[in-house]
Structure 1
Amino acid sequence: MGSIHHLIGDLPHRSLHDLSRRYGPVMLLKFGQVPFIIVSSPEAAKDIMKTHDSIFAMRPQSEIMKIITKRGQGLVFAPYDDQWRQLRKICIRELLCAKRVQSFCAIREEEAARLVKSISSDQAHLVNLSKKLADYATDAAIRIITGTRFENQE
């Protein structure tokens, strides 16, 4: 059960506030088996994110994520170390340089036109703009990565 019993009720944010007044602005709570660090003051958050940022830079690795990511060999799940910094430099230099980003301008414009057409053609119904924008971002990314258009089947 861990610490979850402290948050039972209609106002869990108030329970967290009460806990922070009792134990301070930084607390370790366990929800089941999962530990969470709770930071409840701007000063403590700034200290953690600016002074101790490298400690919190890595994502936790479950056994299934180690299998899926081949022990974090890619950029997204790699541990924050020299290899990660090298991968990041390569991505910035090769994939995110101005020339490369500009080379995909036509794809972004085509997908934006499809988005506008999709929204404007659905005048009789409410439009879930969040979903439309997420679909736009996904479609553009897939076209940039694979060179082909993915037709959403929904």
Structure 2
Amino acid sequence: MQLNINGQTQNIDVEPNMPLLWAIREVVGLTGTKYGCGVAQCGACTVYMNGEPVRSCSIPVSAVGAAKITTIESLSKDNSHPVQQAWIALDVPQCGYCQSGQVMAAAALLKRIPKPTDADIDNAMSNICRCGTYQKIRDGIHVASGQKKLAEVLAQYQASPATRG
């Protein structure tokens, strides 16, 4: 079976019902995409399939076909994507486990809606963060979109400990 992952053809020998997540992580060796729940609820396993965010834990490799798969490793080679830069500058993650899925979902949102409102963010960001960094995620998306200035958000965090995540 062949998969197109991050622009490269990967020849893999797996059962057709293997979830795409496990093919990416265990067979291809790209471990940035995480296993969270296994039932497509948490979003830790978010990748793009033909440019659209999907939960890779629930998609069998047999359903991928010729679709182009993009993982967090291919979002940018040097963390230069605006979402990655905002995440780093705002120190968004606490444990960080869900963050590759959060970053992929946020980047997809900004591609679809370059200047999202809080309501747009709430509707699009269905990934679960056990640490509860949702306000920082929202702020990170606004910073990445250019709607908020990094310095202003950081000053707000210093002024109000309740907004720190």
TM-score (norm 2): 0.24
Q: Which one has a larger percent helix, Structure 1 or Structure 2?
A: 1
**Higher RCO structure (Cα 8 Å, ≥6 apart):** 2
